Structure 1
Amino acid sequence: MATTIILTEDALTDADVQHIQGLQVDPPERYRVLVPEDTDANVVAAIIDHLWTGELREAGEDLVGREPTEEQAKATATERLERSLELLRAAGAVADGHVTQEDPLPALTAAVAAEGGPEGVQGVVVVTYPHVVADTLRRDWASRAREELRAPVLHLYAGTSAIGD
């Protein structure tokens, strides 16, 4: 069964689902969605990202350390996963997935291995918001996944048709 694995930091949007499905000539038979818990973001990088995109209030919240509890982070990730699966299914796809630990790379590597390695998946798609520091230094999830998997990984910016590096 052809599978595309999607790693996303937020719930997919209708636009994200359309872009992901539109990128593939032969739609996969299944999508597997991974959504990480986020309990310990890099505060400095988050502040720079918010300032870069003009989100002053969010930068201030990061500065005072309003991070979610573990329970809140898991609940938020579960909601994002359920919403993403709902949208994929509404678009006619077979989809499953799960919430991962904060660092999603081990779960992504395991999901790819479960499908027979990079040759066994139709694609790996990482959907994030732009992260100026991580993207520039190639420490973003997509860059790290390419290094770990030694396979092509498509990086989409959430809610847009923009493709990351």
Structure 2
Amino acid sequence: MYDVVLLVEQELTEPDAKRVVELHQDMPEQVRYHVLVPCHNAEAGVEASISALGTADLYGPGIVDQRDELAEAQKAIDSEAKDCTGRSIQRLRDLGQQAEGGISHDRPIDALTATVSKVGGQEVIILTRPHIVAEFFHLDWTNSARRHLGVPILHLLEHDDQKADR
């Protein structure tokens, strides 16, 4: 079994799934895909935003009062991420592939490293939208993964359905 870990920024489109599967069509062994979707932590995002604005002393205590709303927001975020993961896995399965996956609240590279280790991943594919500034400064997921993992890593840009429809 050849295990490939896919770190995706958003749901795999049909063209993305086909492109990924085509990369491995001549493999002599069965390929299993492990889809990993990083999930935003609502509370941490709000706290980071407040801290970045330098207003933690003004608004920080108010977060305590909003824990219930943040918990509800997190449930919605998690639900959407799980649905995204499920649809991505199903697209790979529809192409006759073995696929599984999940979401993670950890930093994307930490989650990727843990997943590669857990499943014995032999290859990583990272699918993102273009991130010109992060890529220029080598702060993007792909460059970070290359610094942390000793497996082949391929960065693909996600298919843009809107451009394809024009």
**TM-score, length of structure 2 as denominator length:** 0.71
2:40 aligned counterpart, secondary structure: coil
Greater per-residue helix proportion: 2
CA-based RMSD of the aligned residues comes to 2.3
Within 5 A, what are the aligned runs for 1:123-142? Answer: 123-142=123-142
**Structure 1 stretches of 4+ moved >3 Å:** 39-43
Q: State TM-score, norm by structure 1.
A: 0.71
Among 15, 31, 36, the alignment partner of 1:34 is 36
Q: Matched residue of 2:107: which SS? A: coil
Instruction: Report whether the alignment pairs 1:71 with 2:75.
Output: yes
Change (3 A) 1:134 1:28: farther
Aligned partners of 2:14 and 2:148: how far apart in 1? 29
2:118 aligned residue: 114
CA displacement, residues 39-75 of structure 1 (integer Å, 9 cap, x when unaligned): 43998xxxxxxxxxxxxxxxxxxxxxxxx93222212
Partner Cα distance (1:87, 1:9) in 2: 16
Q: Indicate the residue corresponding to 2:2 in structure 1.
A: 2
Structure 1: unaligned runs, 5 residues or longer:
44-67, 161-165
Deviation, 1:102, is: 4.9
User: In 2, are the aligned partners of 1:128 and 1:156 still within 8 Å (CA)?
Assistant: yes
Does the residue aligned with 1:69 lie in a helix, a strand or coil? helix
Question: How far apart are the structure 2 equivalents of 1:135 and 1:69?
Answer: 30
Return 5+ residue gaps in structure 2 as ranges. 50-71, 161-166
Of the three residues 67, 74, 92, the one matched with 2:96 is: 92
Q: Do the aligned partners of 1:16 and 1:159 also contact (CA within 8 Å) in 2? A: yes
